[in-house]
Amino acid sequence: MSTSKAWAEYLARGVPPQKRYLIGGNWKANGTLAQTAGIVKILNQGGAIPLEAEVVIAPPAHLLGYVKDNLRPDVAVSAQNSALTTKPGAFTGELPAVLLKDFGLNWVIVGHSERREGFGGPGETDDVVATKTKVAVDAGLHVMACVGEKLEQREAGKTTEVVLSQLNAIASKLAREDWSKVVIAYEPVWAIGTGKVATPEQAQEVHESIRAFVKEKVGAQQAALLRIIYGGSVKGSSAPGLILKPDIDGFLVGGASLTSDFVTIIRAVKSP
Ligand SMILES: O=C[C@H](O)COP(=O)(O)O
């Protein structure tokens, strides 16, 4: 199936044209000023963004202003995390969603597995991730909410159980209308930064179960419009095969988003 056929089928699901594939670039804790200037230059000189793609870059917090001011205007900027608090105040080191919105940002990533793990400290629970998602949506942000199983959970046959349990926590905090601002990023932990990308079939199977869950628990329209993106060692070479699957609506890219390969990934959704 060609990419244009995939796009035609995508639209045939009743999806409005403005529901583009979402390509997110998560820079994680990377980016000296010199490196950042280089990546911004690559993106700015990377040619037209395909009609089918919406591109969002998530630099680390200290670079949000620089990237927002220097990146081409047709690429959005996202935070990588936001706070539980609904209000600004005495929360040292936190990024309240209302302040991100006030700063002119429209996106945030919530519940990345690296934050769920906790970097040696207490990680973010399903409940924390769900509350952050709701707080961010209420602040007017679009949220890429991450879910995904660890290798041992996959090997124990618990992938669907784990992912849907994480999703259920998020769904339990959201009103039906909130779903228009939510993207679900399926990121199997075993595929993140390992070079072991999920096969299109493995990713499609989980994405399909996520959409079915949202259809049952929230509604058919919300499920059809929901963007479910895949993350985990996506490269320019693997993106074309993944994007052809009917329930893969884009990518959340880590390592490759720091290189010119990200432009190749963006082009993977372009109709020939
Ligand atoms: O948020 C991005 C994901 O963690 C994927 O990272 P990766 O592409 O380096 O595997």
Element (H, E) at 229: strand 227-230
In a domain, 112, yes or no: yes
Query: Exactly one of 114, 124, 149, 187 is catalytic; which is it?
Result: 187
* 216 catalytically annotated: no
Ligand 1: lining residues by beta carbon, under 6 Å: 26, 112, 187, 192-193, 231-234, 252-256
CA-nearest residue for atom 7, ligand 1, is 254
Based on the residue annotation, tell me whether 94 is a catalytic residue of this protein. no
Domain count of the fold of the chain: 1
Residue 140 lies in a domain: yes
Q: Is residue 232 part of a domain?
A: yes
* Eight-state DSSP code of residue 233: S
- Look up tokens 């945030």; give the residue: 108
The confidence score (pLDDT) of residue 2 equals 62
Please state the atom number of ligand 1 nearest to the C-alpha of residue 255: 9
Closest CA to 59 of 107, 94, 99: 107
What whole-number distance in Å separates Cα of residue 89 and Cα of residue 137?
19
Is-above-0.90 flag for pTM? Answer: yes
Does a structural domain hold residue 272? no
Run means of pLDDT, 10 residues per run, the chain, 272 residues: 68 70 97 96 94 95 98 97 97 97 98 95 95 98 98 97 98 97 98 96 98 97 94 97 94 98 92 56
What is the radius of gyration, based on Cα positions, of the chain?
17
Ligand 1 probe mutation, 117, 143, 187, most atoms within 8 A of CB: 187
Nearest to 104 by CA among 71, 133, 145: 71
Cβ atoms within 10 Å, residue 51: 11
Query: What's the pLDDT score for residue 16?
Result: 66
pLDDT for res 84: 97
Give nearest CA residue, ligand 1 atom 8: 254
Structural domain includes residue 104? yes
Output the pLDDT for position 51. Answer: 85
CB 123 within 8 A of CB 164: no
Which position among 112, 114, 142, 149 bears the catalytic label?
112
Q: How many of the other CB atoms lie within 10 Å of CB of 111?
A: 28
Residue 107 is part of which domain span? 3-267
CATH of residue 94's domain is 3.20.20.70
53 forms bridges with which residues in the sheet?
A: 21
What is the reported pLDDT for 61?
97
The pLDDT of residue 38 is 97
Query: What pLDDT was estimated at residue 68?
Result: 98
